[in-house]
Amino acid sequence: MNKLQSEKDYESVRDQVKKERDPERLLVSICAGSGCGAYGTEEVREALEKEISKNGLKRKVEVKVTGCHGFCEQGPIMVIHPEGTFYPKVKPGDIPEIVAETIVNGKVIKSKLYKDPVSKKRIAKEEDIPFYKGQHRIVFGNNGMIDPTKIDDYIAVDGYSALVKVLFSMSSEEVISAIKESGLRGRGGGGFPTGIKWETCRKAHGDIRYVMCNADEGDPGAYMDRSLLEGNPHSVLEGMIIGAYAIGSHDGFIYVRNEYPLAVKNIGIAIKQAEEYGLLGKNILGSGFDFTVKISRGGGAFICGESTALMRSLEGQVGRPRAKYIHTVDKGYRDSPSTLNNVETWANVPIIINKGAEWYASLGTERSKGTKVFSLVGKVRNTGLVEVPMGASLRTIIFDIGGGIPKKRKFKAVQTGGPSGGCIPEDLLDLPVDYQRLAEVGSIMGSGGMIVMDQDTCMVDVARYFLEFLQEESCGQCVPCREGIKRLLEILTDICAGNGREGDMELLEELSGTVSKLSLCALGGTAPNPVLSTIRYFRKEYEAHIYDKKCPSGVCKELFYYEIDEKKCNGCHICCLRCPQEAISGEKKKVHTIDQEKCIKCSICYESCKVDAVAIK
- Closest separation in Å from C-beta 503 to other proteins: 8
Nearer to other proteins, 239 or 442 (CB): 442
Q: Please give the sequence-ordered ranges of beta strands (E in DSSP) within 152-272, or none if there are none.
A: 210-215, 251-257
Nearer to other proteins, 284 or 475 (CB): 475
Nearer to other proteins, 265 or 487 (CB): 487
Please tell me the distance from the alpha carbon of residue 20 to that of residue 15, in angstroms, as a whole number. 9
The amino acid occupying position 356 is G
Please tell me the distance from the alpha carbon of residue 187 to that of residue 352, in angstroms, as a whole number. 15
- Closest separation in Å from C-beta 484 to other proteins: 6
Helix axes 224-231, 233-247, angle to 10 degrees: 100
- Closest separation in Å from C-beta 324 to other proteins: 10
CA distances from 86 to 44, 534, 580 (A): 15, 40, 40
- Closest separation in Å from C-beta 505 to other proteins: 13
Q: Provide the CA 351 distance to its chain's centre, in angstroms.
A: 20
Residue 38: half-sphere exposure toward Cβ, Cα within 13 Å: 6
Q: Are 423 and 453 within 8 A, CB to CB?
A: yes
The amino acid occupying position 411 is F
- Closest separation in Å from C-beta 349 to other proteins: 29
Please tell me the distance from the alpha carbon of residue 310 to that of residue 314, in angstroms, as a whole number. 6
Please tell me the distance from the alpha carbon of residue 501 to that of residue 419, in angstroms, as a whole number. 26
- Closest separation in Å from C-beta 225 to other proteins: 22
Nearer to other proteins, 358 or 490 (CB): 490
At CB < 8 A and 24+ separation, what contacts does 324-332 make?
324/521, 327/200, 329/197, 329/200, 329/201, 329/204, 330/200, 330/204, 330/205, 332/210, 332/307, 332/308
- Closest separation in Å from C-beta 318 to other proteins: 8
Nearer to other proteins, 104 or 196 (CB): 196
- Closest separation in Å from C-beta 511 to other proteins: 7
- Closest separation in Å from C-beta 523 to other proteins: 10
- As a whole number of Å, the CA-based R_g of the chain is 26
CA dihedral 184, 466, 221, 458 (to 10 degrees): -120
CA distances from 435 to 122, 217, 293, 329, 416 (A): 37, 19, 31, 22, 11
- Closest separation in Å from C-beta 461 to other proteins: 20
- Closest separation in Å from C-beta 460 to other proteins: 18
- Closest separation in Å from C-beta 328 to other proteins: 15
Nearer to other proteins, 477 or 581 (CB): 477
Nearer to other proteins, 136 or 487 (CB): 487
Nearer to other proteins, 33 or 530 (CB): 530
The secondary structure of residue 482, as a DSSP letter, is I
358, burial (CB in 10 Å: exposed 0-12, middle 13-18, buried 19+): exposed
- Closest separation in Å from C-beta 348 to other proteins: 28
322, burial (CB in 10 Å: exposed 0-12, middle 13-18, buried 19+): middle
Nearer to other proteins, 426 or 510 (CB): 510
**Which residues would be at the binding site for other proteins (CB under 8 A)?**
301, 303, 318, 322-323, 325-326, 471-480, 482-487, 490-491, 507, 510-511, 513-514, 517-520
Nearer to other proteins, 366 or 490 (CB): 490
Q: Closest Cα partner for 290 from 345, 229, 211?
A: 211
Nearer to other proteins, 506 or 582 (CB): 506
Nearer to other proteins, 43 or 483 (CB): 483
Nearer to other proteins, 124 or 479 (CB): 479
314, burial (CB in 10 Å: exposed 0-12, middle 13-18, buried 19+): buried
CA distances from 475 to 11, 106, 268, 301, 340 (A): 49, 57, 29, 9, 20
Q: Please state whether the peptide bond connecting residue 76 to the residue before it is cis, i.e. omega within 30 degrees of 0.
A: yes
